[in-house]
């Protein structure tokens, strides 16, 4: 028998990453050996999603996988990002990792960028959710018990009233027709806190919103943190 491919999962803390983990865990040809996340080192938050590092660590503990964190400088130029990723890819290959999986759904340019970035590293890119119908996928996630909250919205796409809302049927009904149900074009990002991929819920409470020029965030905190 061919041994399973040792795979790191690119983990944003959101629903698509969580569902990618669920999907990969059902594939006997894949062994997920850890989660890979980029973090704004200055803020101590997940890059783009704005989720606190403490919650990221709680997610990793709940799914039972080691967390490999890439600390990015702020501001982070494309050259800085490429250097940090190249250093980690070299480290991952030396650890015996064979592939990196991504939760991308349909953006060809993003997929092509991932493939190009891994060229020559010895690491294979995997896309377990690629090409799935996002309306169907959103409902499948919810029906399976995945629970998440919107952590970030793109200001020119969604109002701040969506911040902190649960990713559920009511949300899908309220989204404008132009918004992808999974937010794949960056319209919104989520924090996944429960579902079939978690051994126990990551208990959170919703804090205050932070409205910025291009995107707005909601501060999600550990339930027991003041």
Domain boundaries, the chain: 5-126, 144-222
Residue with tokens 């169907």: 136
Instruction: For residue 142, give every residue at least 6 positions away whose Cβ sits within 8 Å of its Cβ, in sequence order, or none.
Output: 167, 168, 169, 172
Q: Which of 63, 6, 1, 60 is nearest to 30 (CA)?
A: 6
DSSP state of 207: E
Spell out the per-residue pLDDT of the chain, length 226, in tens: 789 999 999 999 999 999 999 999 999 999 999 999 999 998 899 988 899 999 999 999 999 999 999 999 988 899 999 999 999 999 999 999 999 999 999 999 999 999 999 999 999 999 999 999 999 999 999 999 999 999 999 999 999 999 999 999 999 999 999 999 999 999 999 999 999 999 999 999 999 999 998 999 999 999 876 6
Return the CATH number of the domain spanning residue range 5-126: 3.40.50.620
16 close to 129: Cβ distance less than 8 angstroms = yes
């Amino acid at each position: 028998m061919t041994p399973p491919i040792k795979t790191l999962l690119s983990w944003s803390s959101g629903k698509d990453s969580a569902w990618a983990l669920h999907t990969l865990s059902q594939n006997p040809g894949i062994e997920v050996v850890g989660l890979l996340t980029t973090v704004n080192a200055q803020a101590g938050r997940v890059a783009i999603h704005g989720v606190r590092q403490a919650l990221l660590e709680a997610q990793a503990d709940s799914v039972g996988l080691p967390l490999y964190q890439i600390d990015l400088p702020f501001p982070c130029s494309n050259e800085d990002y490429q250097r940090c990723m190249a250093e980690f890819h070299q480290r991952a290959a030396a650890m015996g990792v064979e592939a990196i999986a991504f939760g991308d759904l349909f953006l060809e340019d993003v997929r092509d960028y991932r493939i190009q970035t891994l060229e020559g590293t010895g690491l294979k890119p995997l896309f377990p959710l690629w090409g799935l119908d996002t309306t169907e996928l959103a409902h499948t996630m919810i029906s399976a018990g995945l629970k998440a909250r919107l952590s970030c919205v793109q200001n020119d796409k969604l109002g701040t009233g969506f911040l902190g809302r649960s990713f559920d049927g009511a949300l899908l009904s309220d989204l404008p027709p132009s918004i992808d149900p999974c937010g794949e074009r960056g319209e919104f990002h989520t924090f996944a806190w429960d579902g079939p991929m978690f051994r126990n819920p990551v208990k959170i409470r919703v804090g205050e919103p932070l409205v910025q020029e291009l995107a707005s965030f909601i501060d999600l905190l550990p339930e027991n943190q003041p």
